[in-house]
């Protein structure tokens, strides 16, 4: 390996970024497969209710279903817009 190869390989590593993006995406898609079938509807309805009061983006509401051996949980996340004073 020449000295110049050293500079060549010191570029930012996009492979690590690719791996991270894939892990997040695939974990998400797996969790979607096991989730109860009512979840998308629930998410839609929740978003509609929240939008009655607050101007939020359509991806502002996320409902995450999680289950382990002894319990199942629903985690609700709502991202509010910045500086919302009404």
Partner 1 sequence: MARIIVVTSGKGGVGKTTTSAAIAMGLAKKGHKTAVIDFDVGLRNLDLIMGCERRVVYDFVNVINGEATLNQALIKDKRCNQLFILPASQTRDKDALTKEGVGKVLEELSKTFKYIVCDSPAGIERGANLAMYFADDAFVVTNPEVSSVRDSDRMLGILASKSKRAESGDEPIKEYLLLSRYDPKRVKLGAMLSVEDVQEILSLHLLGVIPESESVLNASNSGTPIILDEDSDAGQAYSDVVARYLGEEVEHRFIEEAKKGLFGRLFRN
Query: Which residue, 33 or 71, has its beta carbon nearer to partner 1?
Result: 33
Strand runs labelled E in the chain: 61-67, 72-78
Nearest CA to 72 out of 47, 39, 29 is that of 39
C-beta of 69: minimal distance to partner 1 in Å? 28
Q: Which residues bind partner 1 (CB under 8 A)?
A: 2, 4-5, 8, 14-15, 17-18, 21, 24-25, 28-29, 58-59
Q: Which is nearer to partner 1, 10 or 71 (CB)?
A: 10
C-alpha span between 80 and 56 (Å, rounded): 6
Residue that the structure tokens 């502002």 belong to = 60
For the bound state, the minimum distance from the C-beta of residue 72 to partner 1, rounded and expressed in Å, comes to 23
* Tokens read off for 73: 């949980």
Residue whose CB is less far from partner 1, 15 or 73: 15
């Amino acid at each position: 390996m020449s000295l110049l190869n050293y500079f060549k390989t010191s570029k930012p590593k996009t492979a690590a970024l690719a791996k991270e993006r894939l892990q997040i995406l695939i974990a998400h898609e797996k969790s979607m497969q096991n989730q109860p079938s009512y979840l998308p509807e629930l998410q839609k309805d929740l978003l509609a209710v929240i939008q009655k009061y607050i101007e939020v983006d359509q991806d502002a509401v996320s409902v995450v279903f999680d289950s382990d051996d002894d319990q199942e949980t629903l985690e609700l996340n709502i991202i509010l817009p910045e500086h919302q004073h009404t």
